[in-house]
Amino acid sequence: MYSTSIQQRTIGVNFTATGEASVVLWAPLLNHAAIQVAGKNTLPLTQQDLGFWQLTTHELQPHDRYKFVLNNEQEFPDPTSLAQPEGVHGFSEAINIMDFAWTDENWQNLPLADYILYELHTGTFTPEGTFEAIGTKLDYLKKLGVNTIEIMPVAQFPGTRNWGYDGVFPFAVQHSYGGARGLQRLVDICHQKGIAVVLDVVYNHLGPEGNYLGAYGPFFTDKYNTPWGNALNFDDAWCDGVRQFFIENVLMWFRDFHVDALRLDAVHAIKDFSAVHILREIKMHVDLLMQETGRTHYLIVELDLNDPKFINLVTEQGFGMDAQWIDEFHHALRVAATGESTGYYSDFTGISHLAKAYQDAYVYDGQYSPHRFKKFGLKAEHNPGQQFIVFSQNHDQVGNRMLGERTSQLVSLEMQKLMAGAVLVSPYVPMLFMGEEYAEPHPFLYFVSHTDPDLVEAVRKGRKAEFAAFHALGEAPDPQSEATFNQSKLQWHLLDEEPHQTLFRYYQALIQLRQTNPALKNLNRHHLDVVCNENTKTLLLHRWHENQHVLCLLNFSPEVQSVTLPTYASNWQKLFDSAAPEWNGKAAAPDSISSGIGITLQPESLIIYQND
């Protein structure tokens, strides 16, 4: 069908062992293609089969800048560019991506079940907003107990301020963050410190500004409508070149950047009715790469379909994705904690749905969804716990609020501790959102730095229209304003103040408990019972591994509640208590208690007992 290589990129500008530049361009509808090297010559490319153009030359060297000339008329940056130092409209820079001195030859990716994820945005995680600055915070993350960072998208976008989902050069690392070399250095130092790296990538759309893919060929199709316009062309005429483009992108991150896992954005928005779905084909190529290198890589998807086909094995006719985000766990937890009932939260009842999320992963697995006005989802009975990633906050759930409020600004400190505990005692892979571990009060707002005035105004009007019903809260912050971006940065000095310091220690202790307690660490979804009481807003989660049993008691009520411990074990010893004085709590529970005895739960609290 088309050619891909496990060893190196087969598209774009790459350099051979003898120093020649190999130029391969996919542009099937052109009559003529050439490469213009800044300050040098314009060199014609030779037409090949299946829409490819090719050139091998010594006249293009690393660090040279270049553009492609299409049909002797228009000049555009390279769609597979590895560097855009002049921004999305400027010249591309040739880079020998293979020429990096890695020191992580002994690194082995962590088991997915052991991941403690920490989602961060490069631009707002540190004052500097660079990969190098992230490296200075790795010891802090290790101290917290985090062993995996998840970096929001870094594909080159317009300007220097963006969430990353407006990227338009999937192969080019954002120049203002530190570019390709900066990302390689960050991954290398992460591996030195025992931290895995997940990179967020976007294969369902491209941003609006600087998106030149359409000039090169049929990268998009009008067969399907998406929230971003025409869909990427994964199954229409000439789709083979598009599929190769994104498969090569996946392989590049794993092979050339040593990234451990990719998080694929909103895969439900990928439209593909091919006999082999693009996700399934990506998985097959990644499997080949892992066989050759001996390294392990994971594919994690954001999925809003509750369809286990995406995470079922390829041998079981699934797409083979290793894990997925579970927004429904977040929604049920948020409703239990706050009682919110607008939008998609209207589908969730709180405690009972949180109990179902613990038990079944999907809350909706065939029931009627009032918000969607239809039955929704399938059961995920045979998928292990490590295939589901849960959280109380993430960039979407915070940043898509009009004012970008974090949980720290919406609930009490006690409820923050309870929500953290609810995530970390789950039989799933937990993820934190940067700053939640110390109750960062700054919002995480939506921000852009487009250069097209008409586009800027359209984005502003779109945000205002989206939140028109919330006018009582004031105006939506201006996404284009640098102040909006700066307001979203973490305030690291707060770690020296209370209650931030105590909350950090609280997260630290909970993470350590999860990592060291076999009943919490082993993600066996079948070794789990859960009982809830809607009236008292309490939930009892029982998990076990071999002879060790753990009982987690969660009280989402603002009142003191009494619960009776089940009788399947006799004596319970306390492991953790969010209401203990060391966490600024109101009153500690007994250190030991017998089954069948009533126990008092403080408002908005978590207690964990163990029985061996």
Domain boundary among 448, 478, 507: 507
Can you tell me the mean pLDDT for 52-79?
97
Distance CA 563, CA 553 (A): 9
User: 65 labelled as ligand-binding?
Assistant: no
pLDDT digits (tens, 9 = 90+) for 145-166: 999 999 999 999 999 999 999 9
With H, G, I as helix, E, B as strand and everything else as coil, classify residue 328.
Answer: helix
Among 162-176, 234-248, 594-608, the least confident range:
594-608
The answer to the question of residue 74 being in a domain is no
Distance CA 149, CA 183 (A): 13
Note whether 350 and 434 are same-domain residues: yes
Burial class (CB in 10 A: 0-12, 13-18, 19+), 195: buried
User: 331 labelled as ligand-binding?
Assistant: yes
User: 396 labelled as ligand-binding?
Assistant: yes
Element spanning 360, H or E: helix 351-360
Distance CA 444, CA 374 (A): 33
Catalytic choice (93, 200, 265, 478): 265
The answer to the question of residue 155 being in a domain is yes
With tokens 């789709």, the residue in question is: 239
Q: Report how many domains make up the chain.
A: 2
The answer to the question of residue 493 being in a domain is yes
CATH label of the domain that carries residue 417: 3.20.20.80
Can you tell me the mean pLDDT for 243-260?
98
CA distances from 128 to 124, 183, 186, 216, 377 (A): 8, 15, 15, 36, 43
Question: Does residue 302 have an active-site annotation?
Answer: yes
Note whether 187 and 280 are same-domain residues: yes
Domain boundary among 448, 474, 507: 507
Question: Does residue 546 have an active-site annotation?
Answer: no
Dihedral sign from CA coordinates of 565, 571, 575, 576: positive
The answer to the question of residue 602 being in a domain is yes
Specify which residues 14 forms β-bridges with.
Answer: 22
Whether residue 379 contacts residue 364, with contact meaning beta carbons closer than 8 Å, is answered with: no
Specify which residues 199 forms β-bridges with.
Answer: 151, 262
pLDDT of residue 1: 39
pLDDT digits (tens, 9 = 90+) for 554-608: 999 999 999 988 877 678 999 999 999 999 998 999 999 887 788 999 999 999 9
Note whether 581 and 476 are same-domain residues: no
Which residues lie below 8 Å from residue 228, measured CB to CB, with a gap of 6+? 204, 205, 206, 208
Note whether 265 and 123 are same-domain residues: yes
Note whether 575 and 430 are same-domain residues: no
With H, G, I as helix, E, B as strand and everything else as coil, classify residue 22.
Answer: strand
Evaluate if residue 525 carries a pLDDT over 50: yes
Note whether 336 and 417 are same-domain residues: yes
Note whether 316 and 429 are same-domain residues: yes
User: 400 labelled as ligand-binding?
Assistant: yes
Query: The domain containing residue 601 runs over which residues?
Result: 525-611
User: 456 labelled as ligand-binding?
Assistant: no
The answer to the question of residue 580 being in a domain is yes
User: 371 labelled as ligand-binding?
Assistant: no
Evaluate if residue 3 carries a pLDDT over 60: no
∠527-529-532 over CA atoms, to 5°?
A: 160
User: 460 labelled as ligand-binding?
Assistant: no
DSSP 480-508: T-HHHHHHTS--GGGGGSTTHHHHHHHHH
CATH label of the domain that carries residue 606: 2.60.40.1180
Closest C-alpha among 382, 493, 401, 392 to residue 444: 401
Burial class (CB in 10 A: 0-12, 13-18, 19+), 152: buried
Closest C-alpha among 161, 49, 93 to residue 446: 161
The answer to the question of residue 236 being in a domain is no
Among 62-66, 134-138, 236-240, 466-470, the least confident range:
466-470
pLDDT of residue 2: 47
pLDDT of residue 4: 63
pLDDT digits (tens, 9 = 90+) for 422-438: 999 999 999 999 999 99
User: 542 labelled as ligand-binding?
Assistant: no
The answer to the question of residue 100 being in a domain is no
Note whether 464 and 571 are same-domain residues: no
What the block records as the tokens of 175 is 């120049």
Distance CA 528, CA 530 (A): 7
Element spanning 20, H or E: none
pLDDT of residue 368: 95
User: 306 labelled as ligand-binding?
Assistant: no
pLDDT digits (tens, 9 = 90+) for 61-72: 999 999 999 999
Distance CA 142, CA 245 (A): 36
Evaluate if residue 523 carries a pLDDT over 90: yes
pLDDT digits (tens, 9 = 90+) for 337-375: 999 998 889 999 989 999 999 999 999 999 999 999 999
Note whether 423 and 276 are same-domain residues: yes
Specify which residues 212 forms β-bridges with.
Answer: none
- Residue 12, phi then psi, degrees to nearest 5: 85, -160
pLDDT of residue 209: 96
Evaluate if residue 462 carries a pLDDT over 50: yes
HEC sequence for 517-551: CHHHHCCCCCCEEEEEECCCCEEEEEEEECCEEEE
User: 330 labelled as ligand-binding?
Assistant: yes
User: 266 labelled as ligand-binding?
Assistant: yes
Whether residue 533 contacts residue 567, with contact meaning beta carbons closer than 8 Å, is answered with: no
Note whether 491 and 548 are same-domain residues: no
pLDDT of residue 464: 82
Look up residue 286 and give its amino acid.
V
The answer to the question of residue 285 being in a domain is yes
Evaluate if residue 212 carries a pLDDT over 90: yes
Domain boundary among 507, 533, 557: 507
pLDDT of residue 579: 97
Note whether 401 and 373 are same-domain residues: yes
Note whether 395 and 430 are same-domain residues: yes
User: 395 labelled as ligand-binding?
Assistant: yes
With tokens 């007994």, the residue in question is: 590
User: 429 labelled as ligand-binding?
Assistant: no
Whether residue 38 contacts residue 277, with contact meaning beta carbons closer than 8 Å, is answered with: no
Catalytic choice (119, 302, 307, 347): 302
